[in-house]
Amino acid sequence: MGFRKLFVASLAVAVLFPALTSAATIAELQTQIQVLMARIAALQAQANTAALSSSANATQCPNLSRNLSRGSRGSDVTQLQQFLIVRGHLAADNDSGYFGTLTEAAVKQFQCKSMSICSGSPSSSGYGAVGPRTRAAITNKCKTAAVQTPQPYTPPVAVTSVPTTPAPPYVPPTTTNTNPATPASATCTPLPSQTQTISCPAGQTGSITQTRTSSCVVGTMSPTWGAWQTTSSTCKSVNETRDVYPQTYYAGSGTWTSALQQAVNTASASVTKTVFLKNGIYTLDQQLWIPDGVNLIGESRNGAVVSFRGNGGIYIMTGSGTALQHLTVDCNNVPQSSGILIHGFDNDFKHDVRVSDVHVQNCPYQGISLQYAHNAIVDSVETNNNGNRGINVSAFSHDNIFRNISGHENAKTEVLFGHGSYNNTLSDSVLSDSYMAGIWIHTGAHGNTVRNVTIRSPHLGEYVYGVVLWDTYDNVLTDIIIEGFKHGVLVRASDQASELPIIPDNTTRNALSNIVITGDRSSNAVGVELNVLKSTGGRGQFYVIGNTFSNISANNVTKIATAVSEMNTSSDIHGNTFQDMTTSAPYDFGLYTDNTWPQVQPPSGLAAVCTGGNVQLSWTPVTGATSYGIRIHVPGSSDFQTLVNWFTGGTAYTASVVPGTTYEWWIHANNSTSNLGAYTNGPMFTCQ
C-alpha cells in the first residue's frame, strides 16, 4: 500500500512538474501543491472504495440450495453466516458452519429489515429459518447490490496567468493549516436519499422497495452512494396460498367448505404448500380433503377452530406428507362424523402425516382414525367427548408414534390398536374418564408398545377396564398406572372379536411389567383377569397362553389375578407367568393351576458370537424344553423383532443383523404342552 501511494504521488509530481516550475510566484506554487495533494487523496479513496466493494460483493453471495434452520451444518451455513456478518446482522468470527441461536437471531434481523417478516416461527411464517423466500431475498440482494463507480474527479481551476507586476516577497503564514490535503474551497454535501421499486425474482409476484443514501469521503468534493437496501417486499410465489382470513357468517348464509377446499388445492402447487388459518371459526358442511404434502396451520390451537355442521358424515381427510397444527376440530355432534382421518388402502398406505397441538372433540364416531397408515406422528393432541374412540388405529397401520396424548370422556375407548395394526408406540400420555377402556388392543394387533401412560376412570361398572388385550400377541406394556377401574387388565381370547379369518384367536406372548393398579374398592375388583369366551363362530379352540406379568402392584382389589373360561377346559388358560407381584390380595386361578409360575425354567449360559453380518446366539439346554422363542431389540428403541417362536433346531440360532448396530436379545423355552417359560436376556452384541 505504501509503494502504491508513493507511485501515485511520484506520477502526479512528474506530470505537474512543468506547471510548478512555471509558476510566477511562491503563493501560486503553494496553491497548486494543495490542489495536487487533494487529487492524490481523492484517487487513493476511490481505489480503496473499489477494493472494498469488490471484496464485499464476493462475500455477500452465498450459494444456498437447501432450506436451513437451527441445527443445520455445512459450508452453505458458513456462507450464510459470512453474508450476515458483512451486512451487520451477525458479529464477526461467528462463521462456524453451525446454525445455532446466534445465526437464527441474525436471520430474523435480516428478514425483518429486508423482507418485512418480523414475527411468527419457522413452521408458520418462516421467521428464523432460511426457506425458499429468504433464499430468494438473499439472492436478490446479491443481484441488486451494485458496486459503486467512482465519480470522476474535477480539479479546481488553477491560476496560470503571470502577473505583470512583480510579486512581493513571500511571507510565511502565521497559522498552520491542519489539513493541507484539502483545499479551502473544496466542500461536499450529501444528496437526498433515493428510492426505487424493482421486480421480484422469477416465479414470484409483487415488488421490492429499496432505498439508498449518500455520504462524503474526506478529500472529495462529490458524495458517494451506498448500496441499495430493501425496505419492504410483497413477493410471494405465483401459486402460493398463505392466508385465509375468517369472516362472520350468520345463520344460513354459507360455510367455509369451498373456500378451504380451494385454498388447500391451490397450496398444493405452491412453494410453501401451506394454508394458514387466522384465529376464527371455519364452518364445514362437507368433507375437507387435504392433498399430499399440504400443511394446514392455525394461528393458535384454541383460536383457529374448524367446526362441523350439516346432516352428517363430515371429516377432514389428510393426504400423505401433510401436517395439521395448532387447530381445534369440533364435530359439534354432527351424526356419523369423525374429526381427522388418515386413511389409505391395502395397496396405497397413507404415510408421514404429522398432527400436533390439535384438539379434537364432540365427534360421534372417531376423534382421530388411522387405517392403512404408517410413519405418522400424533403429538400433543387432546381428544374428548368423542362418541366411539379418541384415537383409533386399525387396518394393518404400523410404525406410527403417539405421544403426549390427553384423552378423556371418549365414550368407548381412549386409544385402540386393532385389526392387525403393528409396531405402533403410545407413550407419555394421560387417558381418563372412558366409559369402557383406557387402552384396547385386539383382533390380531401385535408388536405394539405402550409405556409411561396413566389411565384413570371415575366410572363404576362391570365392564369398565384399564387395559384390554383381546386376540392379540407380542405387545409390550410397561410403566403403566391404572386407577379406579373394576378390572385393571383384561386378557381375553375368543372368536367373537376376530373379523378376519387370517388373524389368530389366541392371546399370547404379551409382556406387561411395572404396572400399578388401584381398584375401585368394589367387592369384585380384580387386578388382572385371564378370560376365554365361549365359541360362537365354530372356529375351534382358542387360548390365553404364555403371557408374562412382572412387577405388578395392586391395591383396593379383591383378587390380584383370576382365570375364567366359559369353555371349562383346563388347557384354555395356561403357561402365563406371574412374578414379583406386590399385593395383599390373593389370586384365584380355579382349574387353571399352571399359571402361577412357568413350568419350564429360562435358559442359561447365553452367548452371542458375531461372524461378519451374522450372529450366532447360543444357550445351555433346558430340561423339559421342546422348543425356544428368540427376539432381539435395539437399546433405546420401542420395537422388538421376533426371530423365531418355536425353534427346535438345538441350542444355537444364527441370525442376520445390521453391521455396527448394538442389539439386546431375549430367549424363552417351551415344553411339549406349549407352556412358554419366562424370557431371559443375553449379553448385548455388535457385529462389524
105 DSSP assignment: H
Nearest to 545 by CA among 510, 496, 590: 510
Domain spans of the chain, in order of start? 243-372, 412-597, 604-686
Dihedral sign from CA coordinates of 280, 277, 380, 392 = positive
Residue for cell digits 449379553? 683
DSSP 149: P
C-beta separation of 376 from 370 below 8 A: yes
SS (H, E, C) 610-660: EECCEEEEEEECCCCCCEEEEEEECCCCCCEEEEEEEECCCCEEEEECCCC
What's the confidence (pLDDT) of residue 535? Answer: 67
C-alpha to C-alpha distance for 680 and 112, rounded to whole angstroms: 60
Task: Answer whether 412-597 and 604-686 agree in fold.
Answer: no
User: Cα(513)–Cα(553) distance, rounded to whole angstroms?
Assistant: 10
pLDDT tens for 68-105 read 998 888 889 999 999 999 888 998 888 888 888 899 99
Kindly state which CATH superfamily the domain 412-597 is placed in.
Answer: Single-stranded right-handed beta-helix, Pectin lyase-like (2.160.20.10)
Rg for the chain, CA atoms, rounded: 39
Q: Is the dihedral of CA 191, 192, 198, 201 positive or negative?
A: positive
pTM: 0.55
Q: Which CATH class is domain 604-686?
A: mainly beta
CB 658 within 8 A of CB 633: no
Which residues in the chain land under pLDDT 70?
1-32, 34-35, 38-39, 41-60, 144-186, 203, 236-254, 458-462, 496-505, 521-522, 535-540, 580-587, 593-600, 638, 671-678
